[in-house]
Structure 1
């Protein structure tokens, strides 16, 4: 559930604006520069109509000689030119300053969102579409650009124009000031209400549909191999078509609400225009306004009208940017479930002993714990196999060692240090993992192998590839170690991906090693090569090996047999095979293993 689902419309605007203001503080100098420069430019724009009126009075005057009228007209024209120059210079200064300010904040916000998402729990990532998350971040980033333009370069000058113009008019003609003030207030209030109460709800729904479309696209493209394997292109086309259909309906509703809102706003503007022109004519008829005054009033209103007309668009853009930033702000507001303690320290591995002490753990809202008082010690340098039926708890065991989840009671220690008191980065850098499905970055083979040690030399990378039996196939590639592997490594076979993952683990040279079903989906030749590499890799390290194929673990120092979150058997292969009716022996017999001392016991 996202925070925006619990947030009302008004709170959404306040939350996004507070988020924006916090980011402005990081660019305080530029933000003040933009605000002051655009205010000065707008004030210059306000005074131009006043001198335009003086110019008309000079030309229309019957009490002045032509030379005197010309002099007054030229002075008014000079003032207009000077104000135009001030407007041009300060407007340019404002726009030139908002560029680095906005780009700096966009970069910082995107980096912050990406950094937080990277540190969210594995459960969060398992429940989120990567394509949707990317869309939330990029759409929110560009919404920041629009929001800055609206607040600093549109609504701020509009407010200056409205307040300044009403004040100038009221000083000379109170009635004119009152009419203009009432018209502006009515228009702005109606625009805000239409945007917040009428347009925004539809816009929020259409944004969710937009995010869903991004998720559907990313899901199908990332799993294209599966789509092709089942000839399901048409089915995925239909799935996207369904998502796009909902997006089209909701977006059309949003756009039509924008259209009706714009029509109502334009109607009100014309009513205000006619009212002001009528008041100006009445003032002239009563002798309270000259032709130049009428020109001043009408020209001023044309300026105000332009700003008022655009206020509707700006408020709509404000609401649009708020809607599009909501999900980005949600990401910034979410607290990572797994966080370093305030006094967390780096892990110092002396031998690599792993100890579970009365560990209690359950997933999410599950009422029954998976582990309840789990006690086990894995000695430094010991090679331990973890076996059991799916869901028995063996994968969770290695996840807790990495602190991918937090336990509810007890402690997990590495060389006596509680993993909860360590920095996550230092903990995971001391653990090398070869997963069942090796996921590679769409980068070069060199970069993928060196991911655990980006400062490794070319010689070290090649040595690791040799140890993992990966060098041979890499050298056959036209670009060798500079070959791009494709998204998730799709250009390589399963065995080749596993050997690259093993090379990565060799190069990382971590004291603790986790092998998670590393040979389960390979052909016999690839399995043999990888098994040899794994045996070399485990030497001198504390190794945890998850396996369904018991041939993988029979030569290990010790085997832990899991069943419903408990360790029901513990010992080397030979010992466990001697247990009559034992879980491990039963599993071995099903896989065709020959029981040792079948008649024992």
Structure 2
């Protein structure tokens, strides 16, 4: 194992343990109580062999009818029973405290991870499998249970026992203390080296493929309608088979290395056992140990042997826990991407005036900026259409208004407030958006509509649905507004999902409204009704309409024609259609020609 790989593994252990200890620090009293109780329990176990030896010496001294022999024997027996009962009671206290301690930690870890994932940038979510992310969180939080058990009620008492046995035996026979202490250090050191340098790297690779397997499963299951549409079940099974095959190979290597490591531990334990027992026999031969002393050494050894054997298992569990938590801890260390500035205050949008002032913006991996020294102003209540070829900068324009990305230079303001200096949640909470491909939660229709305003009454929800022309199809459903819509709204048609999203925008009642071709999924009759409702909704609100079908923007106050991140034409429909070689005119004429051909074919 190279030094570089060992350093990498050490970094992983340090990061995971540091993360765990930070969560321990949130419950200092309970963590301290558990550690002290485990210490007392282990000390009770460590001192038992001493009194076992005294009991044997008392018995070997002569008949039990002799009071001089009986009193030491019964005293040793009483102490052993007391230590045993104390150990049982203390161990129960440890477990009872550990339950609450670990569950609180798991709750905090899941909540913290979810908090961060929710706030990661749009790019991060675009490049991450949802299923893989969920797997990282669930696997990591589950591993925390094993990690706490390993550190607090496994490794900690084993370390106490090894140190205690070394001190106790060394105080009677220094050579025995040296044998036990040195043997324990060598055993633990070699065990750590094998787990960190030999087993752990295989565990990291196995977990990486476990994550990929979870992502592949989630991707195929969530896109099952597409799979069925193309009869691609066998093809998807073949893709998964390749991923599972890789996972199987990596996991087999992990298990094989764990088995070899276990064999090495057994060999080392056998050597240590022979050394300790051999030393005890030499001491007995030299007259330096009584039968009780030999009993003491044997009893201590059997206790010590159990802990040494367990230390190997504990270190394996520690390694497995660290492997399972690595990706969760990595989530915690990742930057959010778009973060609120210290002391950021909520934005207050009253009029909806939007201004881009000398904005330069460049996507992270793109070699050149999309916007360079870009400026535009949108008046309060103005209805503006964003037109242009795909990739011209229309969608980026509205994403920057929502602060899904930060600009490289310049400022974007709403009502004079720099959006980079306000709380993101307050900004997005006051900008209503209807996306071209609306996404719904697997919740009731009422909950999906009310997502824009959770405190809305049922009457307000129904009114919003009526305005969006959704009320009639909702009440026709067996459970009406209490109907569950399925994952991402799969139980509804495209047009129905769109109308629910539009109802959500009605209910938001925000001063700034963004419509990403909000009527594209509706049939002709519904489109007319919704278009009328949208006209009413836009009155008095600053509205941005990303236009793909130019027929939807003819009545807007102003159109901005984008081309490679620049506004190349500006005006209303009538003025732009009059530009002989204008981009807008060419786009409009092309769509009109395509519509005419379609009608002729029909």
Structure 1 residue 57 corresponds to structure 2 residue 54: no
Correspondences of 1:18-97 after superposition (within 5 Å):
18-62=18-62, 65-97=65-97
**Which residue of the partner structure matches residue 598 of structure 1?**
none
Contact kept in structure 2, 1:439 and 1:489, CA below 8 Å: yes
Structure 1 residue 497 corresponds to structure 2 residue 493: no
**Deviation at 1:452?**
1.1
Q: Distance in 2 between matches of 1:468 and 1:506?
A: 8
**Which residue of the partner structure matches residue 189 of structure 2?**
189
Kindly provide the CA deviation profile for residues 246-266 of structure 1, in whole angstroms up to 9, marking residues without a partner as x: 000000000110100001001
Contact kept in structure 2, 1:9 and 1:196, CA below 8 Å: yes
**Which residue of the partner structure matches residue 586 of structure 1?**
586
Kindly provide the CA deviation profile for residues 101-157 of structure 1, in whole angstroms up to 9, marking residues without a partner as x: 111111111101110110011001000001101111111111111111111111110
**Which residue of the partner structure matches residue 600 of structure 2?**
none
Contact kept in structure 2, 1:498 and 1:530, CA below 8 Å: no
**Deviation at 1:62?**
3.2
Deviates more, 1:534-543 or 1:449-458: 534-543
Q: Distance in 2 between matches of 1:269 and 1:502?
A: 70
**Deviation at 1:174?**
1.1
**Which residue of the partner structure matches residue 248 of structure 2?**
248
Q: Distance in 2 between matches of 1:5 and 1:108?
A: 31
**Deviation at 1:367?**
1.9
**Deviation at 1:593?**
7.0
Correspondences of 1:288-303 after superposition (within 5 Å):
288-303=288-303
**Which residue of the partner structure matches residue 481 of structure 1?**
481
Contact kept in structure 1, 2:498 and 2:521, CA below 8 Å: no
Q: Distance in 2 between matches of 1:7 and 1:440?
A: 46
Contact kept in structure 2, 1:514 and 1:544, CA below 8 Å: yes
**Deviation at 1:67?**
4.1
Structure 1 residue 452 corresponds to structure 2 residue 452: yes
**Deviation at 1:544?**
0.4
**Which residue of the partner structure matches residue 599 of structure 1?**
none
Q: Distance in 1 between matches of 2:254 and 2:503?
A: 53
Kindly provide the CA deviation profile for residues 521-553 of structure 1, in whole angstroms up to 9, marking residues without a partner as x: 443234333323322321221100011100111
Q: Distance in 1 between matches of 2:341 and 2:63?
A: 84
Contact kept in structure 2, 1:502 and 1:533, CA below 8 Å: no
**Which residue of the partner structure matches residue 376 of structure 1?**
376
Correspondences of 1:349-428 after superposition (within 5 Å):
349-428=349-428
Structure 1 residue 148 corresponds to structure 2 residue 167: no
**Which residue of the partner structure matches residue 204 of structure 1?**
204
**Which residue of the partner structure matches residue 311 of structure 2?**
311
Contact kept in structure 1, 2:6 and 2:197, CA below 8 Å: no
**Which residue of the partner structure matches residue 548 of structure 2?**
548
Contact kept in structure 1, 2:356 and 2:375, CA below 8 Å: yes
Kindly provide the CA deviation profile for residues 316-349 of structure 1, in whole angstroms up to 9, marking residues without a partner as x: 1111111111111111111111111113221112
**Deviation at 1:96?**
1.1
Q: Distance in 2 between matches of 1:530 and 1:476?
A: 19
Q: Distance in 1 between matches of 2:75 and 2:98?
A: 34
**Which residue of the partner structure matches residue 109 of structure 1?**
109
Contact kept in structure 1, 2:6 and 2:196, CA below 8 Å: no
Q: Distance in 2 between matches of 1:73 and 1:319?
A: 45
TM-score (structure 2 length as normaliser): 0.96
Q: Distance in 1 between matches of 2:442 and 2:532?
A: 27
**Deviation at 1:6?**
12
Gap runs ≥5 in structure 2: 595-602
Task: Give the count of matched residue pairs.
Answer: 591
**Which residue of the partner structure matches residue 287 of structure 2?**
287
Q: Distance in 1 between matches of 2:197 and 2:468?
A: 62
Q: Distance in 1 between matches of 2:6 and 2:331?
A: 14
Structure 1 residue 173 corresponds to structure 2 residue 173: yes
Q: Distance in 2 between matches of 1:232 and 1:285?
A: 79
Contact kept in structure 1, 2:140 and 2:326, CA below 8 Å: yes
Q: Distance in 2 between matches of 1:259 and 1:42?
A: 29
**Which residue of the partner structure matches residue 598 of structure 2?**
none
Contact kept in structure 2, 1:166 and 1:180, CA below 8 Å: yes
SS in 1 for 2:592: coil
| Aligned Cα root-mean-square deviation (Å) | 1.6
Q: Distance in 1 between matches of 2:285 and 2:81?
A: 32
Gap runs ≥5 in structure 1: 595-601
Structure 1 residue 268 corresponds to structure 2 residue 265: no
Kindly provide the CA deviation profile for residues 162-220 of structure 1, in whole angstroms up to 9, marking residues without a partner as x: 00111010110111111111211111011000000000110000000000000001111
Q: Distance in 2 between matches of 1:407 and 1:548?
A: 25
**Deviation at 1:287?**
1.2
**Which residue of the partner structure matches residue 597 of structure 1?**
none
Contact kept in structure 1, 2:387 and 2:547, CA below 8 Å: yes
SS in 1 for 2:515: strand
Contact kept in structure 2, 1:53 and 1:292, CA below 8 Å: yes
Deviates more, 1:48-57 or 1:431-440: 48-57
**Which residue of the partner structure matches residue 345 of structure 1?**
345
TM-score (structure 1 length as normaliser): 0.96
**Deviation at 1:294?**
0.8
